[in-house]
Amino acid sequence: MTSMKKRDLFKNTVLALLLIGSSKLTAQVLHPIKWSYAAKKGNNGEAVVFLKAEIEDGWHIYSTRQKDGGPVKTSFTFKPLTGYALLGKVSEPAPVTKYEPSFAMNVHYFEHSVVFQQKIKLKHAQTEVKGQLEFMVCNDQKCLPPEDVDFSIPVK
């Protein structure tokens, strides 16, 4: 085999290995949480926005009330806009509470799905609630790095 053919064979082999390796890396990206949003107008110029997490089996996310020193709690940051004002804090259903040896503390989490709610006072007939949420997802073997997700919820 000539040196030129050997070099071409080497280049093609390296290229094939890189392509195979990159496809395996892509296949390993995990997204076990899917977020969806809605809003419902109520009485007295108020509304409730709903932020729902659909959680794949075997995974969980943490409560907004998770204490410091353990996993990252779920948190919501609302952008201050002129169309609404927040009423109170984000509410959530009762979480599962369990002692977690890897964190050496009780953790408060949700499995399968959870709906967080935020009451707002409307200043206009229609508005958009914007912000960012942060959450951390774990299973019984590992935790993924905390993730930030932007949201925008129309209120009509």
Which of these, 135, 156, 141, lies nearest to 90 by C-alpha position? 135
CATH number of the domain within which 36 lies: 2.60.40.1250
7, 83: one domain: no
76, 17: one domain: no
22, 84: one domain: no
Low-confidence spans in the chain with pLDDT less than 70:
1-28
41, 19: one domain: no
11, 64: one domain: no
Residue 102 has a pLDDT of 87
The burial of 141, by beta-carbon neighbours within 10 Å (0-12 exposed, 13-18 middle, 19 or more buried), is given as exposed
Domain residues for 133?
31-155
90, 127: one domain: yes
Show the 3-state SS of the chain. Answer: CCHHHHHHHHHHHHHHHHHHHHHHHHHCCCCCEEEEEEEEECCCCEEEEEEEEEECCCCEEECCCCCCCCCCCCEEEECCCCCEEEEEEEECCCCEEEEECCCCEEEEEEECEEEEEEEEEECCCCEEEEEEEEECEECCCCECCCEEEEEEEEEC
What lies within 8 Å, CB to CB, of 78 at 6+ separation is 86, 118, 129, 130, 131
Residue 146 has a pLDDT of 97
97, 60: one domain: yes
Residue 26 has a pLDDT of 43
Residue 43 has a pLDDT of 86
74, 123: one domain: yes
Domain count, the chain: 2
Residue 81 has a pLDDT of 85
3, 43: one domain: no
- Length reported for the chain: 156
135, 65: one domain: yes
39, 108: one domain: yes
84, 35: one domain: yes
Residue 133 has a pLDDT of 98
